[in-house]
């Protein structure tokens, strides 16, 4: 049977896996594969492995348990090797790289920041605060707006909404960047006006959390800032 791999650690890690179960139904029993100074936490891989909530939660619970006790490189969901020997081969081949990355991530955590903007709320704000948009909207509502005016209204509102999203995103990033060692920012999407991961040292973790909460409380109706962390450094492995 193939082997499911959760994370890589150094052999000095406590590797306390008690009360923690692996993926599968019934849950796979966790064990450690060793190679030199490195270890990989693995279990037997179930034949029916899927993106089901049960397996995703088990995957992350194992990684979070390891991370709370020492540096660990969390692997992406679904990392499978042929057998224990294949795992040892990877650990031996990339020992220097894995060891260096574990040292670099020691004492650091990840924070995820996502911003959600309610489009109806921001459109209402644009129509209230932008005189040109307000006038074009009045004409449209009264049935007197020409096609060109309706088109101009749509374009103007879209530009204003995008501008506000961009400004909010930059404000959030500017407020949190000074507290982080590294960042990974995803392009804005229809769902999130900002989506970023930050690598934060343990001694600044509490400060980062406070700064994120203060930003979240600063914004009014229609703007939601979601902050998760501290987490294992998933995005920086």
Q: Is 110 exposed, middle or buried (0-12, 13-18, 19+ CB in 10 A)?
A: buried
Better-predicted residue by pLDDT, 88 or 138:
88
The pLDDT of residue 83 is: 95
Q: Which CATH architecture describes the domain 109-236?
A: 2-Layer Sandwich (3.30)
Q: Is the pLDDT of residue 233 over 80?
A: yes
Residue the block writes with tokens 């501008």: 163
Q: Which pTM does this prediction carry?
A: 0.83
Extract the tokens encoding 145. Answer: 């707006």
Better-predicted residue by pLDDT, 12 or 160:
12
Extract the tokens encoding 216. Answer: 């979240």
The upper half-sphere exposure of residue 131, i.e. CA atoms within 13 Å in the direction of its Cβ, equals 0
User: How large a percentage of the chain has pLDDT more than 70?
Assistant: 88
The pLDDT of residue 141 is: 65
Answer whether 99's CB lies under 8 Å from 10's CB: yes
Count of beta carbons in the 10 Å neighbourhood of residue 98:
21
Taking residues 209-219, what's their average pLDDT? 91
**pLDDT tens sequence across 152-183:** 667 776 777 788 889 889 999 999 999 999 99
The pLDDT of residue 117 is: 86
On the question of a cis peptide bond just before residue 26, with omega within 30 degrees of 0, the verdict is yes
The pLDDT of residue 160 is: 75
Domain boundaries of the chain, sorted by first residue: 3-106, 109-236
| Distance between start and end Cα atoms, the chain | 27
The pLDDT of residue 133 is: 59
Q: At what angle do helices 84-93 and 95-105 cross, to 10 degrees?
A: 80
Q: Is the pLDDT of residue 217 over 80?
A: yes
Extract the tokens encoding 61. Answer: 């619970």
Extract the tokens encoding 131. Answer: 């005189």
The pLDDT of residue 134 is: 64
Residue the block writes with tokens 């594969």: 33
Non-local (6+) Cβ contacts of 169 within 8 A are: 115, 188, 193, 194
Tally of residues, the chain: 237
């Amino acid at each position: 049977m193939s082997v499911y791999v959760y994370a890589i650690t150094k052999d000095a890690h406590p590797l306390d896996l008690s009360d923690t179960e692996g993926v599968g139904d019934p849950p796979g029993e966790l064990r450690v594969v060793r190679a030199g100074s490195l270890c990989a936490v693995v279990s037997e891989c179930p034949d029916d492995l899927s993106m089901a909530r049960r397996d995703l939660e088990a995957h992350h619970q194992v990684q979070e348990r390891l991370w709370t006790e020492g540096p660990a490189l969390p692997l992406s969901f679904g990392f499978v090797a042929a057998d224990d020997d294949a795992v040892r081969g990877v650990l031996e081949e990339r020992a220097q790289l894995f060891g260096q990355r574990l040292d670099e991530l020691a004492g650091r955590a990840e924070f995820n920041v996502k911003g959600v903007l309610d489009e109806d709320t921001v459109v209402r704000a644009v129509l209230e605060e932008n005189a040109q948009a307000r006038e074009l909207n009045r004409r449209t509502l009264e049935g007197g707006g020409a096609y060109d005016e309706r088109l101009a209204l749509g374009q103007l509102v879209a530009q204003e909404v995008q501008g506000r999203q961009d400004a909010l995103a930059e404000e959030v990033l500017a407020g949190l960047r000074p507290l982080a060692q590294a960042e990974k920012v995803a392009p804005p999407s229809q769902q999130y006006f900002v989506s970023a991961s930050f690598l934060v040292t343990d001694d600044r973790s509490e400060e980062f959390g406070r700064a994120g909460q203060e930003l979240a409380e600063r914004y009014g109706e229609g703007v939601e800032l979601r902050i998760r962390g501290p987490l294992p450094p998933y995005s920086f492995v």
